[in-house]
Copies of this chain bind each other. A is one copy, B any other.
Amino acid sequence: MVNKPSKPTDSLIGNDNWNIQLDRNGRLKHFLTVEGLGSEILTSILDTAESFANVNEQRVKKVPILRGKTIVNLFFEASTRTRTTFELAAKRLSADILNINISTSATTKGESLLDTLQNLQAMLCDMFIVRHSDSGAAHFIASHVAPHISVINAGDGWHAHPTQAMLDMFTIRRFKGDFGNLRVAIVGDLLHSRVARSQIHALNTLNTGDVRVIAPRTLVPNDIEDMGVKVYHDLAKGVKDADVIIMLRLQKERMQGALLPSEHEYYSEYGLTEDKLKAAKDDAIVMHPGPINRGVEIESSVADGPRSVILNQVTYGIAVRMAIMSMVLGREPEAEISGEEQ
Seen from chain A, the residues whose Cβ lies within 8 Å of a Cβ on chain B are 1-2, 56-62, 67-70, 78, 80-81, 84-85, 87-88, 91-92, 96, 98, 100, 104-106, 109-112, 115, 118-120, 122-125, 290-294, 300, 304-305, 311-312, 314-315, 317-318, 333
Contact = CB atoms under 8 A, between A and B. Distances in A.
A185 B333 CA distance: 41
Nearest to A249: B109
15 contacts: A1-B305, A60-B68, A70-B91, A84-B100, A88-B98, A106-B291, A109-B291, A110-B293, A112-B294, A119-B311, A119-B314, A122-B311, A123-B314, A123-B315, A124-B318
Contact of A106 (B80, B85, B294): B80
Contacts of A300: 2
A60 B67 CA distance: 6
A2 B61 CA distance: 27
Given A91-B96, A96-B88, A96-B92, A291 B124 contact: no
Count this chain's copies in the assembly.
3
A80 B1 CA distance: 24
A176 to B, nearest CB: 20
Nearest to A114: B304
Contacts of A317: 123
Given A1-B305, A105-B81, A106-B291, A315 B124 contact: yes
B81 A106 contact: yes
